[in-house]
Structure 1
Amino acid sequence: MRHITLDCPDSHYHTVIAECGAYAPPRKRISMKRLTETPDLSTEGARISTTGRGPAQKRAVWKTAIAGGAGSVIEYYDFSLYANLAIYLSAAFLSRSDPGTALLDTLAVFGSGFLMRPVGALFFGWLGDRHGRRTSLLTSVVLMGLASSAVGILPTYAALGVAAPLLLLVLRLLQGFCAGGEASGASTYIAESAPARLRGFFGAFNPAGIAIGTATAGGLAAVVSAVIGSAAMSEWGWRVPFLLSLPLSFAVLFLRSRLPESAQFAKNVRTGVAAGSPIRAALVGEWRAVVKLVLLAFSMTCTAYVGHVYLNTYLTAQLHRPAEEALGTNSIITVVFALLMPCAAWVSDRFGRRRIYGAAMVGYIVLALPAFQWMAPDSGVPLALAMAVSFIPWVFAQAVGYPLFTELFGAKARMTGVAFGFALGTILGGGFGPFVAQLLMTATHWTLAPAAYMAASALVGLAALRFVGPSKIDDVPAETAAEPERG
């Protein structure tokens, strides 16, 4: 196996393994300054291995995928707490006498966080395309942890009056700003580090991490509620999951600080690609890819947020199931299914991502209405079984969606394009999906309105697939093997 080295200014020799797309610096004592440092990847004379995929390269790919997914666990734990605790937040921060109206207002604040996603997407996308994927991921996790933990110490409406919901709105907007670059950043990073023939398999570690983080938020809320009781949960217990965000976020900060930069970004630096304007390249040069991604992301996030995150509120507020049952069942099934995501994505490596994503959308159209019917307490169907059926298309859509999105863009503006397009689609589908579902149900008095809305959004995803072409990053390992320009 051939190795190559980068002769860096600090006189250390850093091994670069391009075949797996990993740049592995030596282990050092970590200081706060080094946590956000971007490695110097422009050094003259860099050479990258073009032969072999030995045990070291394989371990590097696994480490990258696992670490990237683990970071998404905590980041989306932070982001999902709001939706899982919406009932308690509506009582603590809103003065409405009608619980249904207060819940709608709380869900509107939840959706408002998504309005900042495009702004965060442009910022973190620019940061990742110009200064490194790693730098972007480190910055987002710190800000997300601070915003989430601040909710845990925020005074209620009874103490601050109208200032309380306004401060809650500001913190939710900051969460949305950070989330604008998280999923796309981690997906881009893993996609550029994985071999082309297993890009789906390794790329699914990110959505699996997102799902596990979301489930952890709901599961922890269920545990706290079961331990302290419903009354204490409404009074102060809802704060506990938010307060845990800060130490968990710093744990992720340490984990991500030890990750290498992607070899694709290293090549961008050496060849001068990273010196251009990624925002202009994405919005002008690849606007068609952005439009496709918006439609695909709408279908993926609407079905996920309505049929997954909002589901807890639906089960407790509409079907009057105990919160512990709804949160606990959802969390357990989510974790089990999330662990299957790499296998589902591996199927897309064999048969194509468009086919598998399309099959997932058809699954939503066929299964959404009957699955929601079975979740009613008088249906005679166990809740766990009904949830499991409704989650089958979710597994394939999430596992395949993120790798599919990264393959729509070229290297120059990949992170910016994925982040911005995904953010816009997530606003339309995920951000206001729960609000629209609740509004439709309130207006029509039809308890299956959320399921019908999911099926309609899946039709949008099927239509968008017709315009998706071949992957633009199928040859990433080969690209990274190119010799750098000599100065």
Structure 2
Amino acid sequence: MGAAREDVWHVIKTYWPLLLGNALEWYEFTLFGYLSPYFQVNFFQGSAVAAWLGFAITFVARPLGGVVLGLIGDVFGRKVAAFPSIFGMLLSTVLQGCLPTYQSGPAAGFLGLCLLVVLRLLQGIFTGGEIATVSTYITEVGNPRSLASSLVMIPATASLGNLLSLLVTFSFEGALGDGAMTQWGWRLPFLLALLPGSLAIWGRRRLGETAMFLASEAEEQLETGKAKRAMIKIWELVASYWPQVLIGFGAVAALAVNLYGGMTWGLVSLKKHGLSIDFRTVAGATSNCVVLLMAPVVGCVADKHGAAWTQFITGVALAAVGMPLLISIEESVESPWLVVLFYGIGFGILQAFLMVHSLQVVELFPVEVRTAGMGLSYNVGFCLFGGFAPMVFEAAESLATWMPPLLLSLGGVVTASTTLVSLWLRSRGRIQLTHVRHTPYFYCCGKERFLNFQMQKSEEEIKAIEKKRSAIEGFQPVVDI
């Protein structure tokens, strides 16, 4: 526990610009969700489904950003990809707070809607590259013995960004009222991102390259140009690692559905059910605080039992309790403190244990295609299961009130089933699921389960692997001053 705490503190102290940028990313990304009632009025002619479609547009662009900026990270370096992602994300967010609306007339409203779509697409492109770059960077600079404890800092800071987004939005809503928020107040949370975003940009300029990338770059010794290298890497990713890409889709399903279907859509839906802003704020803040407080515990559990074990158990838990949890929340509006309890504690615990998803996905790919592989699989999965979740939940509720809760539980089924299938393929020697630390991955009942027989190396091979790994770990990244 002490060693893990020391490793995590080193990551936070040295690589804080990555974590700050990640918190900012999720602050910006979730703003639209909490402000969707005002976008519904100002841009979407009063249609809630259309407003949630505007939310989903960003997710459509995320896979493109994940692949493009991922290739930049795999060819030119992780540091190179980290800078444009945060800069582009900040710019596209701040400009959303400056758009004309239908309040200024039909022509201005149509122009504002078109520009909103463009900015949402740009935000999706840069956000897709952000999560891939940051996850790869932390994976390659973190100590393998406490890799889960280091990587949960990424979703933990995402929850911090989500919490700040919620508090800022609801604070302005409570202070200004619905009228002023609809007129102009909705712009303020977007403009507030400018200051912390500028700090994150300044900090990332000082980051050095990761040792694993530099070692891989030196080993490849390719004479081909950068453009050709990018084409080679994307072909290798599609041709050789397509099973891992598909596994990545399913691995993020539970988190994506829980975050955007259960938590984001659920909190906005509670406003329509009559829950006051005070209790919605307390419920949302409680769930995010639970995630932040449980991050060290989740990291230790995953470092002891492995990413696959943690993902499987939590996927099963979401499948079992997701439906009754959301139903209980919706039926407890008349008892607000029960909503706080069910929403804050229930969603908070589920979200906390789903934080290991980034480790499961980033480990699927070797260093040569890691950023692009993470960017493609993670972002396509989030697009399919998260981006369209609020819109689907909104439409499903109009058909039957029990359908959104059922969809929430199905997210857990997808992740649990995907994990089991991947472990079976690993046990048959079909695919390799880990490329940084091979164990623990699914440590249960005193034994590492579902081992790939091809991974059971001879003592000589193990020593050679450990020697190479030690050499890479001993090669410290250079920090530019």
1:478 corresponds to 2:470:
yes
Q: Which amino acid in the other structure matches residue 152 of structure 1?
A: G
- Asked whether the equivalents of residues 281 and 412 of structure 1 are also in contact (C-alpha less than 8 Å), the reply is no
Superposed counterparts of 1:3-14, under 5 Å? none
Q: Which residue in the other structure is 1:306 paired with?
A: 261
CA distance in 2, matches of 1:236, 1:361: 41
Q: Which residue in the other structure is 1:50 paired with?
A: none
- Asked whether the equivalents of residues 290 and 349 of structure 2 are also in contact (C-alpha less than 8 Å), the reply is no
- Asked whether the equivalents of residues 304 and 394 of structure 1 are also in contact (C-alpha less than 8 Å), the reply is yes
CA distance in 1, matches of 2:190, 2:378: 26
- Shift of residue 258, structure 1, vs aligned partner: 2.5
- Asked whether the equivalents of residues 219 and 328 of structure 1 are also in contact (C-alpha less than 8 Å), the reply is no
Q: Deviations over 1:151-197 (max 9, x none)?
A: 11101113213222221111111111111111121111101111111
SS of the residue 1:120 aligns to: helix
CA distance in 2, matches of 1:482, 1:384: 48
Q: Which amino acid in the other structure matches residue 50 of structure 2?
A: D
Q: Which residue in the other structure is 1:205 paired with?
A: 153
- Shift of residue 257, structure 1, vs aligned partner: 2.0
Q: Which residue in the other structure is 1:121 paired with?
A: 66
Q: Which residue in the other structure is 2:395 paired with?
A: 439
Q: Which residue in the other structure is 1:23 paired with?
A: none
Q: Which residue in the other structure is 2:453 paired with?
A: none
1:154 corresponds to 2:102:
no
- Asked whether the equivalents of residues 193 and 262 of structure 1 are also in contact (C-alpha less than 8 Å), the reply is yes
Q: Which residue in the other structure is 1:195 paired with?
A: 143
CA distance in 2, matches of 1:379, 1:220: 25
SS of the residue 2:100 aligns to: coil
- Shift of residue 249, structure 1, vs aligned partner: 1.4
Q: Which amino acid in the other structure matches residue 260 of structure 2?
A: Y
- Shift of residue 386, structure 1, vs aligned partner: 0.8
- Shift of residue 337, structure 1, vs aligned partner: 1.8
Q: Which residue in the other structure is 2:38 paired with?
A: 88
Q: Rate the CA distance shift 1:393–1:332 in 2: closer, same or farther, 3 A.
A: closer
- Asked whether the equivalents of residues 38 and 186 of structure 2 are also in contact (C-alpha less than 8 Å), the reply is yes
Q: Rate the CA distance shift 1:325–1:383 in 2: closer, same or farther, 3 A.
A: same
CA distance in 1, matches of 2:270, 2:294: 25
- Shift of residue 58, structure 1, vs aligned partner: 7.9
- Shift of residue 316, structure 1, vs aligned partner: 0.9
Q: Which residue in the other structure is 2:169 paired with?
A: 221
- Asked whether the equivalents of residues 326 and 405 of structure 2 are also in contact (C-alpha less than 8 Å), the reply is yes
SS of the residue 1:229 aligns to: helix
1:73 corresponds to 2:29:
no
Q: Rate the CA distance shift 1:236–1:480 in 2: closer, same or farther, 3 A.
A: same
1:339 corresponds to 2:293:
yes
- Asked whether the equivalents of residues 17 and 201 of structure 2 are also in contact (C-alpha less than 8 Å), the reply is no
- Shift of residue 94, structure 1, vs aligned partner: 2.1
Greater helix share, structure number:
2
Q: Return 5+ residue gaps in structure 1 as ranges.
A: 1-52, 97-101
- Asked whether the equivalents of residues 222 and 328 of structure 1 are also in contact (C-alpha less than 8 Å), the reply is no
- Asked whether the equivalents of residues 286 and 348 of structure 2 are also in contact (C-alpha less than 8 Å), the reply is no
Alignment equivalent of 2:351, drawn from 377, 394, 408: 394
Q: Which amino acid in the other structure matches residue 395 of structure 1?
A: A
- Shift of residue 380, structure 1, vs aligned partner: 7.0
1:428 corresponds to 2:378:
no
CA distance in 1, matches of 2:8, 2:159: 25
CA distance in 1, matches of 2:59, 2:8: 37
- Shift of residue 248, structure 1, vs aligned partner: 2.2
CA distance in 2, matches of 1:181, 1:354: 24
Alignment equivalent of 1:168, drawn from 112, 116, 122: 116
Q: Deviations over 1:88-117 (max 9, x none)?
A: 111111224xxxxx1110001111111111
Q: Which residue in the other structure is 1:110 paired with?
A: 55
Q: Which residue in the other structure is 1:255 paired with?
A: 203
Q: Which residue in the other structure is 1:3 paired with?
A: none
Alignment equivalent of 1:355, drawn from 309, 320, 341: 309
TM-score by length of 1: 0.82
- Asked whether the equivalents of residues 170 and 277 of structure 2 are also in contact (C-alpha less than 8 Å), the reply is yes
CA distance in 2, matches of 1:397, 1:143: 28
Aligned residues: 422
CA distance in 2, matches of 1:241, 1:321: 22
Alignment equivalent of 2:251, drawn from 287, 296, 313: 296
CA distance in 1, matches of 2:201, 2:20: 11
Q: CA RMSD in A?
A: 2.4
TM-score by length of 2: 0.83
Q: Which amino acid in the other structure matches residue 26 of structure 2?
A: Y
SS of the residue 2:366 aligns to: coil
Alignment equivalent of 1:181, drawn from 129, 142, 151: 129
- Shift of residue 265, structure 1, vs aligned partner: 1.1
1:465 corresponds to 2:428:
no
Q: Rate the CA distance shift 1:136–1:352 in 2: closer, same or farther, 3 A.
A: same
1:241 corresponds to 2:189:
yes
CA distance in 2, matches of 1:77, 1:59: 23
- Shift of residue 66, structure 1, vs aligned partner: 4.2
CA distance in 2, matches of 1:273, 1:335: 47
- Asked whether the equivalents of residues 254 and 354 of structure 2 are also in contact (C-alpha less than 8 Å), the reply is no
- Shift of residue 259, structure 1, vs aligned partner: 2.5
CA distance in 2, matches of 1:371, 1:291: 29
- Between the aligned residues of both structures, percent identity stands at 24
Alignment equivalent of 1:377, drawn from 329, 333, 337: 333
- Asked whether the equivalents of residues 140 and 182 of structure 1 are also in contact (C-alpha less than 8 Å), the reply is yes
Q: Which amino acid in the other structure matches residue 115 of structure 1?
A: V
Q: Deviations over 1:60-95 (max 9, x none)?
A: 434245443222101111111111100111111122
- Asked whether the equivalents of residues 195 and 477 of structure 1 are also in contact (C-alpha less than 8 Å), the reply is no
Q: Which amino acid in the other structure matches residue 51 of structure 2?
A: T
Structure 1, 328-337 or 180-189: larger mean CA deviation: 328-337
Q: Which amino acid in the other structure matches residue 420 of structure 1?
A: L
Q: Deviations over 1:6-42 (max 9, x none)?
A: xxxxxxxxxxxxxxxxxxxxxxxxxxxxxxxxxxxxx
Q: Rate the CA distance shift 1:58–1:426 in 2: closer, same or farther, 3 A.
A: closer
Structure 1, 366-375 or 167-176: larger mean CA deviation: 366-375
Q: Which amino acid in the other structure matches residue 357 of structure 1?
A: Q
- Shift of residue 124, structure 1, vs aligned partner: 0.7
CA distance in 1, matches of 2:151, 2:394: 33
